[in-house]
Amino acid sequence: MSLETPFDEPAGRRLARAASGKLVELWRARELLLQLVRKELKVRYKNSALGFLWSMITPVLMTIVFSVVFTVVVPIPVDDFPAFFVAGYLLWQFFQNSCRGGTDSIVGNGDLVKKVYFPREVLPLSHVLSQLVHLLLALLVISPFLIYFRGWGLLVHLPATLLAVVLLTVFTSGAAMWFAGVNVVFRDLQELFIVIFQVWFYATPVLYPLALVQASPELERRSLDWIATALTYNPMTWFVEVFREPLYGPVIRRGVDDIESLAPAWPSVSAIGIAALWALGAFVFGYAVFLRRARTFAKEV
């Protein structure tokens, strides 16, 4: 008779057992997670006269400024540019604000981390979920504006919009945990964050459609058409495309220097599949890095 010990257990089974144990622990801490989310929402708008409306001021101002620049000064050939921009910017704002809050979530709660044991991942995840509340409320507020410009088709494709939100939430959770874990040992990350996200923003097709880059004759003439390929390696490109198509509609390439804006539609299965792979990969990688760093958080914060 053979007696199996933990050391004889296959590595894959040990990893699956450890992962399921962490998920069970996280589920048991759901009340703490919800309390932290409520705290984030209350603290942000405490004694504020406008409350949630403050979170709409940034996208509204950005939409006005970029609409003037990219419809008058340097026209981008898409229909209804304000609707095109806001359909991508809301998603970007959710991603950026979640990662910014997650980056400081462990260091900023150093006293709590030193004194009490709890699953540390609830700290960055609370920032992601509080920003998710803002995103859903913002979508509700902005819907009449999008319906006015793009028609009622966006309501028909609402399931695709919600699927895109779920996929980006998974991706953002992994990214926020990675930033939170790495920031404990590399505090310069807080300063680098602004630079990283400024570059990342312009490398993501929020201001312009991906099809415009793919159809650019100028890039082809200068042998810079590799830029369009490089953009497809940016995970946020796929989340913006999957999110924007059911809200605004796809922008497709007809030929060289020729693009067309279509009505709201279902995103392609391939685009959803690529976004899902990025979401799963980022979550597993970010969570693994976070758990590895979490062993020494109490000593390093």
Look up tokens 């159809």; give the residue.
Answer: 215
Predicted TM-score (pTM) of the model is 0.88
Neighbours of 249 (CB within 10 A): 25
Give the pLDDT score at 7. 53
Give the pLDDT score at 258. 78
d(CA 254, CA 168): 29
Which amino acid makes up residue 1? M
Tokens of 88: 């991508």
Look up tokens 């880059």; give the residue.
Answer: 213
Give me the average pLDDT of each 10-residue run along the chain (301 residues): 55 72 85 90 74 77 90 89 93 95 91 87 94 91 91 90 96 96 90 93 94 83 84 95 93 80 92 96 94 85 75
d(CA 289, CA 26): 16
Nearest residue to 16 (alpha-carbon basis) of 292, 245, 284: 284
